[in-house]
Amino acid sequence: EVPKALLPVANRPVLSYVLEQLELSNIKDLIVVVEGADAALRVGGWISAAYVDRLHVEVATVPEDVGTAGALRAIAHHLTAKDVLVVSGDLVSDVPPGAVTAAHRRHDAVVTAMICSVPVSGLSEAGSSGAKDKTKKPGRYNIIGMDPTKQFLLHIATGAELEKDTRIRKSILRAVGQMDIRADLMDAHMYAFNRSVLQEVLDQKDKFQSLKQDVLPYLVRSQLKSEILINGAPQGQQAKENGNDKVSYRILANASTPSFHELYALGPNGSAPVRRTHKCCVYIASNSKYCVRLNSIQAFMDINRDVIGEANHLSGYNFSAQNNIIHPSAELGSKTTVGPHCMLGEGSQMGDKCSVKRSVIGRHCRIGSNVKVVNSVVMNHVTIGDGCSIQGSVICSNAQLQERVALKDCQVGQGYVVSAGCEYKGESLARKEK
Amino acid sequence: MQFDDQGRVNKSKKRAVFNQPEAKNRVELFRHLPQYEHGSQLTDLESKFLELDSMHPAVYKVGVQYLAGDVTGGNARCIAMLRAFQEVINDYSTPPGKTLVRDLTAKISSYVSFLIECRPLSMSMGNAIRFQKSRIAKLPLTLSETEAKAALCNDIDRFINEKIILADKVIVRHAATKVRDGDVLLTYGSSCVVEMILLYAHELGKQFRVVVVDSRPKHEGQALLRRLLAKGLSCTYTHINAVSYIMHEVTRVFLGASSVLSNGTTYSRVGTACVAMVAHAFRVPVLICCEAYKFHERVQLDSICSNELGDSNDIARVPGRPDVNSMDNRTNEKNLQFLNLMYDATPSEYVSMIITDYGMIPPTSVPVIVREYRREYLLI
């Protein structure tokens, strides 16, 4: 199976969107961490083919199931800069990473997370198909607490661990005065970390597996009772510096409006700082930017649709007059219509009287006549017989559909053969592993 | 640069690092000053953070802090900028085929124009930059690169220590002799030197109370008030509309300055002239506390020819009161223009004495200090 990072979105691997965004922001030195040896090989092979001169990428392999925190521990010795930008490989967005890093530097924060609004079609549970659920479960959702100026992150809890109630630190609430809690935002998995703090947390807390579930909430919870040493942090270390530095630091500190961290850190009479705090900042992606994570099948279909449709500046292709992309080597039969927001890959052949609406068709597909493809994703080297009707489905590479197959909301695995005349609704068809 | 000259504005826009849309509805009298739409400036600048190779990240950070208003006050801005330049010098390496002197000066000039785009320079910053460039130009050619860089960083440290920190200490010692028991001292806005004076006099054990006068839209006095109260001074807080009511209780007025000009005019936060004038009418002595590096040889007769325009939305809204919104969204009406001036000029006849690190001088002696002592630091 293709590794998740190389799943095609609009006929480009999803990892390419991340790399392109980083290249546009002038970040040339990257480390791509992949779980599992074969996946790493394939990712590495693709990257060196596609980005050989433009980016300097190092592919690191980690064993499976160590989680994102474990992955960072494995490559910790490669990290040398003062701040580290961590991006998940399945993020499709056009938010410039520069904005996140600028917010990080401006406040000298320990971690800055990018937050975006939940995509409209909602996050459904991975693997469950829509037809079976009669009741609309809200599924996974996130609770994010911010201060009124929307710059600092006060509370974060992801849906997986939320049952009935959520606990908020009273000290944080008392220090900041007012906290806005929102459930319509989600964590976009782009973080800027202060490198020394990140390494310290990863070393001290061995049990942390995931950045999103463990490290980030830990840093947010402990922001007013900081247990980590920040290099060169003036708070609490002032006695060591000589008098002149103290004065200039005080001039600078008095000049800016103190954030609630500094106010909390002051002693009872506003005297010298007695408590150590660190700042967790947040950057909210504006609504005009597109930002979605590929973490479920529903999201996969939505992203495919959006990248050809509304967010088509992301795909980087040129659109034809009918607002779709047809590769010059694709052949269309007579009376075949390809609607707007569609994409046909190279070498694909379509028979007569077909209709394609809002779908992505990969390379070298052979599609018979009288086929209707609506709202679907068809990957490379697929053979579809005559008279098929495919709606809302994902058909992976090398699959074969014989005649008069009707699929609705299905996922067909790689290399699977669907026999003639079958009708499936809301099912996952895959070859049984021997 | 005068901003009502369209040709030069267009030329400078082409060289600009980030895009700033100009405000549309401007007061005619102040068209020569830059004014931009404040809404999108910060997001534009932040999104370009990583894209500009030519900008050092420390300078970028300082620029973002200026634009967002995180750092205000002449001394703080100057120190932040000089520390950023120290980092620039430390990270600098001469490209092949160029001399350190010329290349570094060109780099510093480009960083300075970036900082000007974020927020116009104050005069103290202008003097500090001139000092910096003259030190670079005076580097002996025989020095190696590391020695030159170490020498420049040392110079910056010396400048900060001698001209700002030590100067503040001297000013505080002088001014504390002017505070007597039973005094009522008035101060306007938030000046770091005046705060140091009040705290030092309190430590010496003098019995006095403080009146803090504040004004919209920034309410800078509130931060000063908080810090004074934390140290145990007894304070009164009022707004500038009431300054004539409170002036009869006051015995001395201490004010800070962004700069003092050659004709004795004090250029500082808007509202200072008003307070000084009322104090003069009540025959209360006005003492301006200002470090000598902020003196400038320019002469200015009014607040119009050189000033800074802030965000017009700041005066349309009251922070924390979303219900007071009758002025909201009216910034584009034809008959109504918002004017948010940041500085004003206090004439020298309202000022009794200027306390500097060279002593306590009358306002007429400012050109003497500029002439005699400004040359001195260029020669160290």
State the smallest CA–CA distance between residue A285 and chain B in angstroms: 10
Q: Which residues of B touch A286 (CB under 8 A)?
A: 43
Region A340-353: mean pLDDT is 81
**Residue of A404, A349, A339, A402 whose CA lies nearest to A376:** A339
**What pLDDT is attached to residue A263?**
67
**What pLDDT is attached to residue A138?**
47
**Dist CA B192 CA B216 (whole Å):** 19
Region A402-423: mean pLDDT is 82
Task: Provide φ and ψ at A365, rounded to 5°.
Answer: -90, 150
Region B190-205: mean pLDDT is 93
Dump pLDDT digits (tens) for A16-39.
878 877 877 777 778 888 877 777
State the smallest CA–CA distance between residue A3 and chain B in angstroms: 30
Dump pLDDT digits (tens) for A358-383.
888 888 888 888 888 888 888 888 88
Dump pLDDT digits (tens) for A236-276.
333 334 566 777 777 777 766 666 776 666 655 555 556 67
**Dist CA B309 CA A120 (whole Å):** 42
CB contact under 8 A, B60 and A251: no
Region B238-251: mean pLDDT is 95
**What pLDDT is attached to residue A68?**
78
**What pLDDT is attached to residue B81?**
93
Cβ A329 vs Cβ A345: under 8 Å: no
Domains with residue ranges and CATH for chain A: 4-120+140-161+169-227+277-293 (3.90.550.10), 317-429 (2.160.10.10)
Find the chain B residues whose C-beta atoms sit closer than 8 A to any C-beta of A. 43, 45-53, 57, 60-61, 64-65, 68-73, 75-77, 79-80, 160-161, 164-165, 168, 190, 192, 195, 223, 226-227, 229-232
Asked if the model's pLDDT at residue A412 lies above 90, the reply is no
Average of per-residue pLDDT values in chain A: 75
**What pLDDT is attached to residue B84?**
93
Q: What percent of chain B has pLDDT over 90?
A: 46
Q: Could you tell me if A286 lies within 8 Å of chain B, comparing CB atoms?
A: yes
Under the banding of pLDDT at 50, 70 and 90, the label for residue B232 is very high
- Choosing among B41, B45, B50, which should be mutated to test the A contact, i.e. which has the most A CBs within 10 A? B50
Region B118-133: mean pLDDT is 89
Which range among A90-104, B185-199, B293-307 shows the weakest confidence by mean pLDDT?
A: A90-104
Region B18-22: mean pLDDT is 74
**Dist CA A168 CA A154 (whole Å):** 9
Beta bridge partners of A86: A191
Higher pLDDT, A276 or B261: B261
Nearest by CB: A270 against B160, B165, B230: B230
Asked if the model's pLDDT at residue B297 lies above 80, the reply is yes
Chain-centroid distance, C-alpha A358? 23
Nearest by CB: A101 against B50, B71, B229: B50
Under the banding of pLDDT at 50, 70 and 90, the label for residue A131 is very low
Under the banding of pLDDT at 50, 70 and 90, the label for residue B211 is very high
CB contact under 8 A, B73 and A254: yes
Dump pLDDT digits (tens) for B320-365.
777 877 777 777 778 888 889 999 999 999 999 999 999 999 999 9
Average of per-residue pLDDT values in chain B: 88
Nearest by CB: A106 against B51, B70, B192: B70
Angle in degrees, 0-180, between the axes of helices A243-255 and B192-203, rounded to the nearest 10: 120
Reduced to 3 states (helix: H, G, I; strand: E, B; else coil), residue A53 is coil
**What pLDDT is attached to residue B366?**
92
Asked if the model's pLDDT at residue A122 lies above 50, the reply is no
State the smallest CA–CA distance between residue A177 and chain B in angstroms: 13
Beta bridge partners of A153: A146
Tokens, residue A432: 């049984």
Higher pLDDT, B363 or A75: B363
**What pLDDT is attached to residue B199?**
94
User: In this structure, which amino acid lies at residue A113?
Assistant: A
Region B288-311: mean pLDDT is 90
Q: Could you tell me if A55 lies within 8 Å of chain B, comparing CB atoms?
A: no
**What pLDDT is attached to residue B343?**
93
**What pLDDT is attached to residue A189?**
83
Interior/surface letters A82-113, b for 16+ CB within 10 angstroms, e for the rest: ebbbbbbbbbbbbbbbbbbbbbbbbbebbbbb
Asked if the model's pLDDT at residue B123 lies above 60, the reply is yes
pTM confidence score: 0.81
State the smallest CA–CA distance between residue B168 and chain A in angstroms: 10
Site of tokens 């900081």 = A226
Decide the pairing of beta strands A291-293 and A91-93: antiparallel
**Dist CA B365 CA B374 (whole Å):** 13
**Which residue in chain A is spatially nearest to B83 when comparing CA positions?**
A248
Cβ A195 vs Cβ A83: under 8 Å: yes
**What pLDDT is attached to residue A241?**
43
State the smallest CA–CA distance between residue A86 and chain B in angstroms: 15
**What pLDDT is attached to residue A124?**
37
Higher pLDDT, B120 or A124: B120
Q: Which residues of B touch A102 (CB under 8 A)?
A: 45-47, 49, 60, 64
**Dist CA A42 CA A159 (whole Å):** 32
State the smallest CA–CA distance between residue B81 and chain A in angstroms: 11
CA atoms within 13 A on the CB side of A56: 4
- Choosing among A254, A284, A289, which should be mutated to test the B contact, i.e. which has the most B CBs within 10 A? A254
**Which residue in chain A is spatially nearest to B48 when comparing CA positions?**
A98
Asked if the model's pLDDT at residue B169 lies above 60, the reply is yes
Dump pLDDT digits (tens) for A294-318.
777 777 777 777 777 666 666 666 6
Q: Could you tell me if A106 lies within 8 Å of chain B, comparing CB atoms?
A: yes
**Residue of A169, A157, A265, A163 whose CA lies nearest to A216:** A157
Region A149-174: mean pLDDT is 75
Region B244-266: mean pLDDT is 94
Region A112-120: mean pLDDT is 79
Which range among A8-12, A82-86, A230-234, B74-78 shows the weakest confidence by mean pLDDT?
A: A230-234
Asked if the model's pLDDT at residue A355 lies above 80, the reply is yes
Q: What percent of chain A has pLDDT over 90?
A: 0
**What pLDDT is attached to residue A103?**
84
